[in-house]
A and B are shown apart, each in its own frame.
Chain A
Amino acid sequence: DARVTQTPRHKVTEMGQEVTMRCQPILGHNTVFWYRQTMMQGLELLAYFRNRAPLDDSGMPKDRFSAEMPDATLATLKIQPSEPRDSAVYFCASGWWGGYNEQFFGPGTRLTVL
């Protein structure tokens, strides 16, 4: 049963600390998305990778957020320094570019910044 996995599932940290979230896309998928979900803003696209190349990170606060894909099995989203307004659920999704372009979501990382 192929699934997107994310770690950690929950993270509580203090303002100013670095946070790293990890995602393992479904094997064989060549697109990876990072989303942030909050009650106020809904689902926001933060970053998009295709074949490991970052094609769109326009949704990310550039000064504190960074996203990378060091290999085909790992995508990371880093926040440094973290702020209380970053508290949200962060979802990773993966898919196959060229087919239905359907996105499959991971379980999410619930981040709380105190």
Chain B
Amino acid sequence: ELKVEQNPLFLSMQEGKNYTIYCNYSTTSDRLYWYRQDPGKSLESLFVLLSNGAVKQEGRLMASLDTKARLSTLHITAAVHDLSATYFCAVALATYKYIFGTGTRLKVLA
């Protein structure tokens, strides 16, 4: 069975701290996507990772992909309240299909 697992599922952190969200997947894939979803809103594309070793950074967020380990990470640096949201990773299969992770609900406390 194809699985995409994220951990932690819930993360409460203080402003200014660093943390990493992990996305493990059970199938071969060389494309992985990260999305952000605010409560009651749609999914917003954050990063597209297209190859082994890919690293992308935007502001306080940095995503990386290790296709051999079947692992992607989303690192948060010096968290701020505005980063509070649910973060999803999605693994692309050889065709068109995404398999979405369970999501990580992040709450940044002032």
Enumerate the 10 nearest inter-chain pairs by beta-carbon distance, A residue then B residue, closest first: A105-B43, A43-B100, A105-B42, A107-B42, A100-B48, A102-B48, A108-B42, A48-B96, A42-B102, A102-B45
A55 touches B96 (CB 8 A): yes
Structural contact, A107 and B41, CB atoms closer than 8 A: yes
- Classify the secondary structure of A's interface with B: strand
- Residues of B contacting A100 in the complex (Cβ-Cβ under 8 angstroms): 31, 48, 50
Q: For the complex, would chain B's binding face be called helix, strand, loop or mixed by DSSP majority?
A: strand
Question: With an 8 A cutoff between CB atoms, is A91 at the interface?
Answer: yes
Binding site for A on B (CB under 8 A): 31, 33, 35, 41-45, 48, 50, 88, 92, 96-98, 100, 102-103
* A interface residue numbers (CB < 8 A to B): 31, 42-43, 45, 48, 50, 55-56, 91, 93, 97, 100-108
For A42, A97, A101, A108, the residue with the greatest tally of chain B CB atoms inside 10 Å of its CB is A101
> Which chain A residue lies CB-closest to B40?
A110
Is there an interface contact between A50 and B96, defined as CB atoms closer than 8 Å?
Answer: yes
A65 to B33 Cα, complex, angstroms: 28
User: CA of A97 to CA of B102 in the docked complex: distance in angstroms?
Assistant: 25
In the assembled complex, the CB of B1 is this many whole angstroms from the nearest CB of chain A, namely 15
Q: Which residue of A lies closest to B33 (CB)?
A: A102
Return A67 CB to nearest CB of chain B, in Å: 15
Q: How far is the CB of A24 from chain B (nearest CB, A)?
A: 14
User: In the complex, A19 Cα to B45 Cα: how many Å?
Assistant: 28
